[in-house]
Amino acid sequence: MMFRDRSQTHFLEALFRDRVVPVGTVRTPEDFWDFVDGKVAPILQGDNLTGTPAGTLFGNLKTPTGVRIRQIRVPETSCARTAARMKANNMMKLTKCYASLGISNIETTFLLADGSVPDGVPASVYSAYAWSSEKESDEIVQFGSMGLYPPSGFLIDSKDASQLLTVASVLRSRQWVDVKTRVVFVDFEVYSANLDIWLTSRTVFEWLPSGVVIVFQQVRAVYLDRYKFEAAWDYIQVTLEFLVAFMMVWHLIQEVVELCARGMSSYVRSFWNMVLLIILYYLPCHELSIYTAQCNAVVSRTMCAPSGTWCYSRLYSVIW
């Protein structure tokens, strides 16, 4: 009943994982920016294979939404008592410490590693130093290898390759990713005009307090037009889903009748009655979430893309 076609999307996802956005070993911020310049920017240029026109990838893939880079940072914290004792014994200099990311340990004002406020920020990257809330970022909670990450953070959007390369160059020189960075997301979408498929790519870089960098990549391709009514299977799918909906309504009516006849106290003592109620509650919610996602995504496609405004994060959230 889902709107994923494994016969096409599986190979498209594998193509992006293996050829379009391969991720090597990332140990330093310089490695990260090399990834942005060398792997992500060419996607917007459309030059992954020779002979492709600007803005188009092989397979008639379009890149209408650009690239978003978002990071979440931690504030400076007090070092452990062991470090203080070692300093007292002249065994080491007590340096600043930066703990793991937590609900109450998130930096909302961009401060450099020395605690100062960045000055002389160019207008082209100003948004990268401004905190964006969940509502402003239009993101969702994201999972990674080491845990869940909030939808807020410091972010910047680039609509084309030229802008992305400029942004990456400026942020690299200003050390935007530093010891206070705990996670960086690099997101983009492409659209396959041949298959009518949206493909989203999110690469998560988790910068652990230990200095280890974990790269976690997510690639997913989905159909947004659930019912095209172009083939016999489309009508069969609609018919089957209508029958399922009819059976659910019928069983719900029967349960309500039984509940009224037996009373609440007697009805809830039956284990299978409770199981049936859970099923009747879960299935409609699940189907409703799919329909809502499709409707929101279609609105993003038709309303946002032609105007050139930034709605891709909503689309990414819908697909995920």
Asked if the structure places residue 138 within a domain, the reply is yes
Q: pTM (2 decimals)? A: 0.72
User: Binning pLDDT at 50, 70 and 90, where does residue 299 land?
Assistant: very low
- Give the three-class secondary structure for 306: coil
Q: What is the dihedral of CA 264, 267, 268, 273, to 10 degrees?
A: -140
The answer on 216 and 84 residing in a single domain is yes
State CA 6 to chain mean position distance: 21
pLDDT band at 293 (very low <50, low <70, confident <90, very high): very low
Same domain, residue pair 61 and 36: yes
Statement to judge: residues 274 and 153 lie in one domain: no
Q: Strand runs (DSSP E) across 21-147, as ranges?
A: 56-57, 61-62, 67-73, 131-132, 142-143
Predicted local confidence at residue 56, as pLDDT: 52
The predicted-structure confidence for 12-21, as pLDDT tens digits, reads as follows 788 777 777 7
Domain tally, the chain: 2
| 257 and 135, same domain (yes or no) | no
Domain end, chosen from 223, 258, 286, is at 223
The least confident of 52-56, 92-96, 142-146 is 52-56
> What are the DSSP calls for 164-212, one per residue?
HHHHHHHHHHTT-S-TTEEEEEEEEEEEETTTTEEEEEEEEEEE-TTS-
Neighbours of 196 (CB within 10 A): 13
Task: Please name the residue ranges forming H helices in 24-160.
Answer: 29-35, 41-45, 81-88, 134-137
Q: How is residue 15 written in tokens?
A: 């193509």
143 plus 116 within the same structural domain? yes
Contact by Cβ (8 Å): 3, 222: yes
- In-domain check, residue 320: no
- Shared domain check, 287 and 164: no
- Rounded Cα–Cα distance for residues 185 and 178 (Å): 15
Q: Answer yes or no: do 137 and 216 share one domain.
A: yes
Where is the domain boundary, 223, 243, 278? Answer: 223
Average pLDDT value for the chain: 79
Looking at the fold, whether 219 and 236 belong to one and the same domain comes out as no
Same domain, 287 and 152: no
In one-letter notation, the amino acid at residue 299 is V
Question: Of 223, 253, 280, which residue constitutes the final position of a domain?
Answer: 223
pLDDT digits (tens, 9 = 90+) for 177-231: 999 999 999 998 888 877 788 888 899 999 999 889 999 888 888 777 777 777 7
- For the purposes of burial, counting CB atoms within 10 Å of the CB of 264, is it exposed (0-12), middle (13-18) or buried (19 or more)? exposed
Does residue 14 sit within a domain?
A: yes
Q: What residue type is assigned to position 244 of the chain?
A: V
Q: Would you say residue 306 has pLDDT above 70?
A: no
Helices (H) and strands (E) in the chain, counts: 10, 10
Q: Please tell me the distance from the alpha carbon of residue 63 to that of residue 43, in angstroms, as a whole number.
A: 8
Is 50 domain-assigned? yes
Task: Please indicate whether residue 55 or residue 65 has the higher confidence score (pLDDT).
Answer: 65
Question: Which of 190, 214, 185 shows the shortest CA–CA distance to 202?
Answer: 185
Two structure tokens written together for 248: 């659910």
Q: 220-260, pLDDT tens digit by residue? A: 887 777 777 777 888 888 899 889 888 888 888 888 888 88
**Does 154 share its domain with 249?**
no
- 188 and 249 assigned to the same domain: no
User: Element (H or E) spanning 157, and its range?
Assistant: strand 153-158
Query: What average pLDDT score do residues 263-272 get?
Result: 83
DSSP state of 15: H
Tokens encoding 120: 């002389």
Domain that holds residue 99: 6-223
The Cα diameter of the chain in Å comes to 81
In a domain, 319, yes or no: no
Are the C-beta atoms of 175 and 161 separated by less than 8 Å?
no
Q: How far apart are CA 129 and CA 149, in angstroms?
A: 19
**212 and 236 housed in the same domain:** no
